[in-house]
Structure 1
Amino acid sequence: MKKYALCLDLKDDPQLIAEYESYHKAVWPEIIDSIKGAGISNMEIYRLGNRLFMIMEVNETFSFEAKAKSDAENPKVQEWELLMWKYQQALPMAKEGEKWLLMDKIFGLD
């Protein structure tokens, strides 16, 4: 099992943040299927203010490239991503088109 941490910002608007959280209390089943089908065994998202932090635990079949390709070919995932972009904003260091950015692990208590 491998673990990844990613981050992204939300637009700093309390109403939009509340709507975003509401969507995540009832994520569309097709999105859940897409996540699990990609080899992601667990996913958690945390929020502090308008900053989001995601932890993904993945199995040996997971790859970011395969997930991106699968998402691009899935109309329901594209619909979800377009909807979520209403609430999200890229981090200042993001390149064009980047949303969730992979974080570097700098400490581990093993």
Structure 2
Amino acid sequence: MTRLALHSRLLPGTEEAYEREHARVWPELITVMRAAGISDWSIWRSGRDLFHLVECDDYEAAVAQLRGDPTDQRWQQHMSQFVEAFAEDGRPLPHVWTMTQQTD
């Protein structure tokens, strides 16, 4: 299992609407994400900046599978009214440090 982080940015003034949309994500979207090998996805917000933590088997394979899925395409189109862009073209952020991986 791989854990990775992503960064995206909201359009100005869409913060509350974005959070309302994520109060209950479409159940069919969660189904296709799990089928693509994503076991969990969490999002934190600081102002307009969003930080995503994704746990999956193979991120590149999951993204490729979702790209062709009609449910994910509808979700991405719907969410485009809130999200300005993913930083680094949606590539995972570089990992810097994890406390549990450090030995004394």
Smaller-chain TM-score bracket = 0.7 to 0.9
The runs of 5 or more residues in structure 2 that have no matched partner are: none
* Aligned counterparts, 1:51-62, within 5 A: 51-58=49-56, 62=57
> Does the aligned pair in 2 maintain the 1:8–1:101 contact within 8 Å?
no
Aligned residues: 100
Query: What percent identity do the matched residue pairs reach?
Result: 29
**1:102 aligned to 76, 81, 92, which one?**
92
**Equivalent position of 1:7 in the other structure:** 7
1:41 CA drift (Å)? 1.4
1:8 CA drift (Å)? 0.4
The secondary structure found in structure 2 opposite 1:105 is coil
> Does the aligned pair in 2 maintain the 1:30–1:77 contact within 8 Å?
no
* Aligned counterparts, 1:71-90, within 5 A: 71-90=66-85
The runs of 5 or more residues in structure 1 that have no matched partner are: none
2:64 aligned with 1:69: yes
1:77 CA drift (Å)? 1.0
1:64 CA drift (Å)? 3.0
Q: Which structure: greater helix fraction?
A: 2
TM-score, reference length from structure 2? 0.84
1:44 CA drift (Å)? 0.6
